[in-house]
């Protein structure tokens, strides 16, 4: 199974059009292009707090959007404050953009704030239902469970790439695909030995 995952877009006008261009998910994939720019984080509090230190490597103009302070611990709030991370608790209602390049984020109080990029944490689902129909177990986060040799919980079924690894990258997908292919081949070779 090298079937990947499907990111689920929120119903925020403009979000989908900006996805992968200026509304992005990963500092390693997109961070360099948006370094030094006014940057937002739109994600659940835990994910927002996880992203904040990574993004502070790239910009000192960072704002967490759509999260109430009560979603963070006191210690987390102190840390965010110490590093100058702004908090705007209003919900994001729309993304104004040109050809996917973000201009302004529209908030539920009518305010519009300019951003160059917004890092978004969106839910996902498995792209293919085949692993599920074969009985492959998923982790709590929704990834296919595999062992160190990429075998799923169903003997003889191997998975690789985004469908089973939380660190999404081409390098990880290729490396795990290499291992899954070799292990599948070894099993088949042993069967007829």
Ligand X SMILES: Cc1cc2nc3c(=O)[nH]c(=O)nc-3n(C[C@H](O)[C@H](O)[C@H](O)COP(=O)(O)OP(=O)(O)OC[C@H]3O[C@@H](n4cnc5c(N)ncnc54)[C@H](O)[C@@H]3O)c2cc1C
Q: Which is nearer to ligand X, 4 or 44 (CB)?
A: 4
**Residue in 13, 20, 36, 53 binding ligand X, rule: CB under 6 A:** 20
Site map for ligand X, 155-184, x if CB under 6 A?
------xx-----xxxx-x-----------
> How many angstroms separate the CA atoms of 152 and 173, rounded?
16
Residue, CB closest to ligand X: 161
Q: How far is residue 87's CA from residue 74's CA, in Å, rounded to a whole number?
A: 14
- Please state the closest distance from residue 7 (CB atom) to ligand X, in A: 6
Q: Does 4 bind ligand X (CB under 6 A)?
A: yes
Task: Please give the angle made by the CA atoms of 67, 53 and 70, to the nearest 5 degrees.
Answer: 25
In which residue are the tokens 């502070």 written?
Answer: 56
With beta carbons less than 8 A apart as the criterion, state whether 71 and 77 touch: no
> Which of 141, 142, 139 lies closest to 128 in space, CA to CA?
142
CA atoms within 13 A on the CB side of 6: 8
The residue written with tokens 């790439």 in the block is 161
Specify the stretch interacting with ligand X by CB under 6 A; choose among 82-90, 92-100, 105-113, 123-131: 123-131
**Among the listed residues 16, 59, 71, 128, the single contact to ligand X using CB under 6 A:** 128
Nearer to ligand X, 2 or 113 (CB): 2
The footprint of ligand X on this chain (CB under 6 A) covers a number of residues equal to 15
11's CB contacts (< 8 A; 6+ apart) are: none
Nearer residue to ligand X within complex by CB, 4 or 121: 4
Nearer to ligand X, 72 or 158 (CB): 158
DSSP category for residue 63: E
What is the binding site for ligand X (CB under 6 A)?
Answer: 2-4, 20, 29, 127-128, 130, 161-162, 168-171, 173
């Amino acid at each position: 199974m090298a079937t990947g995952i499907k990111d689920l877009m929120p119903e925020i006008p403009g979000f989908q059009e900006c996805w992968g261009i200026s509304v992005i998910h990963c500092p390693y994939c997109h961070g360099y292009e948006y370094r030094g720019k006014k940057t937002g984080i739109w994600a659940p509090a835990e994910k927002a707090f996880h992203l904040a230190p990574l993004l502070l490597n790239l910009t000192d103009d960072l704002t967490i959007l759509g999260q109430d302070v009560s979603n963070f611990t006191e210690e987390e709030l102190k840390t965010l404050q110490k590093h100058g991370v702004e908090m705007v608790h209003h919900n994001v209602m729309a993304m104004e953009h040109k050809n996917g390049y973000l201009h302004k984020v529209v908030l539920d109080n009518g305010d519009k704030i300019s951003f160059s990029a917004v890092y978004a944490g969106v839910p996902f689902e498995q792209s293919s239902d085949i692993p599920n129909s074969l009985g492959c177990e998923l982790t709590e986060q929704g990834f296919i469970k595999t062992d160190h040799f990429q075998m799923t919980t169903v003997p003889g079924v191997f998975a690789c790439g985004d469908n089973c690894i939380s660190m999404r990258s081409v390098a990880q997908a290729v490396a795990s695909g290499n291992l899954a292919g070799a292990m599948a081949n070894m099993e088949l070779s042993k069967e007829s030995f």
